[in-house]
Structure 1
Amino acid sequence: MEHVGYLASLAIGISLGLIGGGGSILTIPILVYLFKIDPKLATSYSLFIVGITALSGCFSHYRLGNLKIKSALFFGIPSVFSILVIREVIILKIPNVLFTINDFQVTKNFLIMIVFAVLMIAASFSMIYKNNPQIHSSGTNYLQLALIGSVVGIVTGFLGAGGGFLIIPALIFFANLPMKQAVGTSLLIIFINSSIGFAGDLYIGTPINYAFLLTISAIAFMGMLIGTQLSKKINSAKLKPLFGWFILVMGIYIIIKEILSF
């Protein structure tokens, strides 16, 4: 399965380059199901892989004029504070086994994957059905953007997800960015969030296999180059619902996989 995992890692970068998100949605299942990595450790690995890949995509989208730095900072700074609180304080206090029902143990790892999948499904509906974000205000609501940033920081801290599947809807509906600008801006936010989260994991002594991480990141980087080039050729109006259907299917798959594993 590892050979399939290396091939699948290419899709991490393609997803980030094409739709500005989905990297962690792919990374965590790839690490857990194909490389058999513990879900908690997979969240740390995901932060590194997605963060470094998103950084490479930032430069390409900046040259294309798709990077809105002010919106990224208003969103990203509150996210950083949430990430630090979750990863350095709260998640360390959660026991490995939360409770038991009729010999069925609800573990922290099970909870991470299920919550991750539920959030994916919830975010997918906003992308599939809300196809006209410009009907909202014509300007950027920075206060709401900052509040949403805090919420996404909680998700990033708890799940090790870059949060692109939540960041993109927020940028569309609260910063009123077109899809392609939301894609480029989300990559900068993902890089900021993922870097802070991974640095926090290093601080608390999480064991890291750097050779493995760099290999996966290099493959994902090649995918990012492919995805960025594809984004130039695909109509942005088609990307949002496509992204929504993609994460809906992935969310349902993860829930079924986790339930059947017991």
Structure 2
Amino acid sequence: MLLAVAAFGLLVGAVLGLVGAGGAIIAVPALVYVVGVPVAEAMSTSLVMAASSSVAAVLPRLRHGINWRIATTVGVVGIPAAFLGTAVNAALPQPVVLLGFATLMIVAGIQMLRPRPSASGERPPGRGWVWRAVLVGLAVGLLTGLLGVGGGFVIVPALVLLLRMPIGAAIGTSLIITIVNSIAGVIAHAGVGSVDWQITVAFAAPAFLASLIAARFATRLSGRMLQVAFAVLVLAIALLTIVRTILTW
């Protein structure tokens, strides 16, 4: 089984490197339905992958392109929210969690089909940004703990639309938030005994390496084409997840 886990780690890492986000969206259904990993373990495994991949992606942005005030506020608020989301996850039946995850996939797929907003016309957060950052942190933290995703595809639009950040700064800031929330999610899942470290390492290590290699080729391909192809893949997997979950419930 570990070979199958490693193979899917390579696939998910390659997708993450090419598209820049969304690896956990396809990681959880692949681990659950193809490899046979329990839902809770699949989600904790995807969080480790999200954290390690975000570390690789954020390194070139540490000196520039990160709003540390917003990253700290959203990240700190998201930590207890991630623990709360994990507690709710543990109390829900697996089919309910999978249907919620499929719904999130549909939202993510639609979001990926939309063109990213440009940086023109964006303004600094301004007054009252703290409360908006707190709301974003609560929502993303709950999402991380409940469904086992880093939430980058949700964080970036929230930072741009609610906190008026330029898209470049939003991407860099979202990576820091993803790292913090994913680590909190892993710790929370470990607290309820849902982390299989052997499977996690077998999946996350190949995913990390594949994302680094794939990122080198991403610049040679059309970003819009990659986004659309990924969105179609996510929507197809979401529909299959819904059908499979309903039929086996």
Change (3 A) 1:148 1:239: farther
The number of residues matched between the two structures is 246
1:172 aligned onto 2:157: no
Provide, for residues 198-250 of structure 1, a one-character-per-residue CA deviation record: whole Å limited to 9, x for no partner.
1122234x154323321211100112202432344456666655554443333
Q: 2:139 aligns with which of 151, 176, 185?
A: 151
Aligned to 1:209: 196
One-letter amino acid of the structure 2 residue matched with residue 113 of structure 1:
L
**What SS class does the counterpart of residue 153 from structure 1 fall into?**
helix
Aligned to 1:34: 34
Change (3 A) 1:8 1:180: farther
In 1, are the aligned partners of 2:19 and 2:223 still within 8 Å (CA)?
A: no
Q: Distance in 2 between matches of 1:66 and 1:13?
A: 24
Change (3 A) 1:207 1:144: closer
5+ residue gaps, structure 1? 96-107
Q: Distance in 1 between matches of 2:10 and 2:60?
A: 18
Q: Distance in 2 between matches of 1:73 and 1:230?
A: 32
**What SS class does the counterpart of residue 162 from structure 1 fall into?**
coil
Provide, for residues 64-88 of structure 1, a one-character-per-residue CA deviation record: whole Å limited to 9, x for no partner.
x55443432233222112112222x
Aligned to 1:194: 182
Report how far residue 42 of structure 1 moved.
Answer: 1.8
In 2, are the aligned partners of 1:21 and 1:183 still within 8 Å (CA)?
A: no
In 1, are the aligned partners of 2:17 and 2:212 still within 8 Å (CA)?
A: yes
One-letter amino acid of the structure 2 residue matched with residue 124 of structure 1:
G
Give the TM-score normalised by the residue count of structure 2. 0.81
Q: Distance in 1 between matches of 2:66 and 2:195?
A: 31
Structure 1 stretch 50-59 or stretch 76-85: which is displaced more? Answer: 50-59
Aligned to 1:75: 74
One-letter amino acid of the structure 1 residue matched with residue 143 of structure 2:
V
One-letter amino acid of the structure 1 residue matched with residue 175 of structure 2:
L
Q: Distance in 1 between matches of 2:121 and 2:247?
A: 42
Q: 1:251 aligns with which of 233, 238, 245?
A: 238
Change (3 A) 1:16 1:180: farther
Q: 2:102 aligns with which of 104, 109, 117?
A: 117
Change (3 A) 1:192 1:144: same
One-letter amino acid of the structure 2 residue matched with residue 112 of structure 1:
V
Aligned to 1:98: none
Q: Distance in 1 between matches of 2:171 and 2:112?
A: 13
In 2, are the aligned partners of 1:46 and 1:160 still within 8 Å (CA)?
A: yes
Q: Distance in 2 between matches of 1:229 and 1:66?
A: 20
Q: Percent identity?
A: 26
Give the TM-score normalised by the residue count of structure 1. 0.77
Report how far residue 115 of structure 1 moved.
Answer: 0.5
Report how far residue 161 of structure 1 moved.
Answer: 1.4
Report how far residue 160 of structure 1 moved.
Answer: 1.4
One-letter amino acid of the structure 1 residue matched with residue 24 of structure 2:
S
In 1, are the aligned partners of 2:44 and 2:194 still within 8 Å (CA)?
A: no
How do 1:116-135 residues align onto structure 2 when only pairs under 5 Å count? 116-129=101-114, 131-132=116-117
Q: Distance in 1 between matches of 2:167 and 2:197?
A: 34
In 1, are the aligned partners of 2:79 and 2:184 still within 8 Å (CA)?
A: yes
Report how far residue 196 of structure 1 moved.
Answer: 0.7
Q: Distance in 2 between matches of 1:55 and 1:75?
A: 17
